[in-house]
Amino acid sequence: MDSEISFSIKDDSISEILNRYQNGTTISKNVALDLLESKDILYILKLSACLKTRFKKDVITYSRKIFINITNLCRDICSYCTYRKNPLESSSVMMKPAEVLNLAKIGKKYHCTEALIVAGERPEERYSEAKRWLSQLGYTSLVEYVSDISEKIVKDTGLLPHSNLGNITKEEMKLLKTYNVSLGLMLESSSEKLLEKGMPHEFAPSKNPIKRIEVIKNAGRMKIPLTTGLLIGIGETKEEIINDLFLLKSINNEFENIQEIILQNFQPKRNTTMQGFPSPSNDYFLKIVSIARLIMPDMNIQIPPNLSPRTFSSFIDAGINDWGGISPVTIDHVNPEFLWPKINELKKITESKQQRLRARLPVYPEFIDKHDFISSHLRNYVENFIGLDRLVKEEYLVEFR
* DSSP conformation letters of 263-317: EEE----TTSTTTTSPPPPHHHHHHHHHHHHHHSTTS-EE--GGGSTTTTTHHHH
**Pairing, β 160-164 against β 114-119:** parallel
Model pTM greater than 0.75? Answer: yes
Nearest to 366 by CA among 304, 328, 322, 325: 322
pLDDT at 8: 55
pLDDT at 262: 98
Q: How far apart are CA 279 and CA 309, in angstroms?
A: 13
Q: With beta carbons less than 8 A apart as the criterion, state whether 55 and 297 touch.
A: yes
CA 211 from chain center: how many Å? 18
In this prediction, residues 171-196 reach a mean pLDDT of: 98
pLDDT at 15: 73
The radius of gyration of the chain's CA atoms, rounded to the nearest angstrom, is 20
Judged by DSSP in three states, 64 sits in: strand
pLDDT at 265: 98
pLDDT at 398: 67
Q: What percent of the chain has pLDDT over 70?
A: 96
Q: How far apart are CA 355 and CA 3, in angstroms?
A: 30
Domains of the chain: 54-396 (3.20.20.70)
Nearest to 59 by CA among 381, 345, 283, 364: 364
Backbone angles phi, psi at 251, to 5 degrees: -60, -45
Residue range 215-234, pLDDT digits in tens:
999 999 999 999 999 999 99
Residue 275 pLDDT level (bands cut at 50, 70, 90): very high
Backbone angles phi, psi at 285, to 5 degrees: -70, -40
Judged by DSSP in three states, 114 sits in: strand
Query: Any idea which of 15-29, 33-47, 122-136, 326-340 has the lowest mean pLDDT?
Result: 15-29
pLDDT at 1: 47
Q: Is the pLDDT of residue 400 over 90?
A: no
Judged by DSSP in three states, 150 sits in: helix
In this prediction, residues 104-120 reach a mean pLDDT of: 97
H/E stretch holding 100: helix 97-109
Q: Is the pLDDT of residue 5 over 70?
A: no
* Total Cβ atoms within 10 A of residue 401: 8
Q: With beta carbons less than 8 A apart as the criterion, state whether 327 and 67 touch.
A: yes
Q: What percent of the chain has pLDDT over 90?
A: 88
Q: Is 357 exposed, middle or buried (0-12, 13-18, 19+ CB in 10 A)?
A: middle
pLDDT at 2: 62
Residue range 70-89, pLDDT digits in tens:
999 999 999 999 999 999 99
Query: Any idea which of 20-24, 171-175, 228-232, 365-369 has the lowest mean pLDDT?
Result: 20-24
In this prediction, residues 355-377 reach a mean pLDDT of: 97
Nearest to 396 by CA among 162, 109, 115: 109
* Total Cβ atoms within 10 A of residue 194: 23
What's the one-letter identity of residue 137? L
Tell me which DSSP letter residue 195 carries.
G
Looking at every residue in the chain, the average pLDDT score rounds to 94
pLDDT at 39: 86
Q: With beta carbons less than 8 A apart as the criterion, state whether 246 and 253 touch.
A: no
Q: How far apart are CA 399 and CA 229, in angstroms?
A: 29
Residue 18 pLDDT level (bands cut at 50, 70, 90): confident
